[in-house]
Amino acid sequence: MKAAIVGVTGYTGIELIRLIQQHPQLEVGTLHSHSMHENSSVLYPHLIGLTERLIEPFDAEKIQKENQLVFFATPAGISKELAATFVANDFPVIDLSGDLRLKDRDSYQKWYHQEAAPAELLAQATYSLPEFATTPGNLIANPGCYATAAILAAAPLVQQKLFSGTLIFDGKSGLSGAGKKLTDSSHFATAADNMTMYKPNQHQHIPEIMQQFQQWDQAMPPIQFSTSLLPVKRGIFMTLYAPIKDAISQEDIYEQYVKTYQDHPFVRVQPLGKLPELRQVTGTNFCDIGICFNPLTQVLTVVAVIDNLGKGAAGQAIQNFNRWAKIPETTGLMQAPLYP
Residues forming the active site: 145
Q: Measured on CA atoms in the order 128, 111, 148, 302, is the torsion positive or negative?
A: negative
Question: In 10 A of CB 193, how many CB atoms?
Answer: 8
Q: What CA–CA distance (Å, rounded) separates 34 from 57? A: 6
Q: What CA–CA distance (Å, rounded) separates 18 from 65? A: 23
In one-letter notation, the amino acid at residue 278 is: L
Do residues 302 and 242 lie in contact, with contact meaning Cβ atoms separated by under 8 Å? yes
Between the CA of residue 8 and those of 19, 306, 322, what are the distances in Å? Answer: 13, 22, 20
Per the document, the length of the chain is: 340
Q: Measured on CA atoms in the order 100, 101, 105, 108, is the torsion positive or negative?
A: negative
Do residues 55 and 31 lie in contact, with contact meaning Cβ atoms separated by under 8 Å? yes
